[in-house]
Amino acid sequence: MRPTTIAIDGPAASGKSTIGELLARRLGYLYFDTGVMYRAVTWAALKRGIPIEDEAAITALAERLRIGVVPPTVSDGRQYTVLADGEDVTWAIRTPEVDANVSPVAAYPGVREALVRQQRQIAQQGPVVMVGRDIGTVVLPDADLKVYLDAGVEERARRRWREVRERGEAAEYEPILAAMRRRDEIDSHRATSPLRPAADAVVVDTTDMTIAEVLATVKRICDERCGRRRRAV
């Protein structure tokens, strides 16, 4: 009676990827972070010199780009390996340049339509914890459980700054904070699939919580939903 489709949404660096992976591992579910698909398209556009503002060209790229997400192929702390037309772009899609450009790309209706089709197909493969920004509202509106993780933008920027530094890359906090504020504005006000909690989502503020505390909270929510499903039967 455990929820078989779990949607975890939230803004950048709210903890959804970390918690989604840990929860999926604990439940024995498939874990899928849809955000990597939009990042892969953004990375590919930047690499090919396609202007980010060229919506038609970006949409065409999203429709033909072969994006794969497979178990880790390198032991370097990655949660999975992301492939774009066969090339390992796992860390390349996490650069500040991609951070600064992914929101406009993700706002294009044609891009979202192309990638949402793939995301729904993945969800049909079995029990899944899927994370992103519109899973509970658009991709899987009938998900058994919807969780929305949030945190203050300053704390989220610090998390992203530490993440980049821990990979040995140069990074400054203020530009990351500015980019995150800009991304929040774009994501929450875009016409197609704006970032917002689903009406029936459980909202968890992770600002002052450790990873262990957030995981315990989400696991408790999952267990409570499981109990309600049993009682309903």
Q: What is the pLDDT of residues 116-129, one digit of tens each?
A: 998 998 888 779 99
What integer pLDDT is reported at residue 233 of this predicted model? 45
Dihedral sign from CA coordinates of 188, 192, 130, 60: negative
- Segments in 143-194 forming alpha helices (H): 153-166, 173-189
What letter does residue 137 receive in the DSSP assignment?
I
Pairing of strands 67-70, 81-84: antiparallel
Strands 128-132 and 145-150: unpaired
Domains within the chain, CATH numbers bracketed:
5-226 (3.40.50.300)
Radius of gyration of the chain, Cα coordinates, nearest whole angstrom:
17
Average pLDDT over residues 209-233: 82
pLDDT digits (tens, 9 = 90+) for 87-144: 999 999 999 899 889 989 998 999 999 999 989 988 887 799 999 999 999 999 999 9
Predicted structure pTM score: 0.82
Whether 232 has a pLDDT exceeding 70, the answer reads: no
Dihedral sign, CA of 97, 98, 103, 104?
Answer: positive
Which secondary-structure segment (H or E) carries 105? helix 96-107
Burial 38-49 (b: 16+ CB within 10 A, else e): bbbbbbbbbeee
Handedness of CA 13, 179, 141, 63 (dihedral sign): negative
Q: What is the pLDDT of residues 164-201, one digit of tens each?
A: 899 888 889 999 999 999 989 988 998 888 999 999 99
CA distance 123 to 200: 19
Which residue in the block uniquely carries the two structure tokens 């950048």? Answer: 12
Closest to 32 measured CA to CA, from 116, 107, 122: 122
Q: What is the pLDDT of residues 35-59, one digit of tens each?
A: 999 999 999 999 999 999 999 999 9
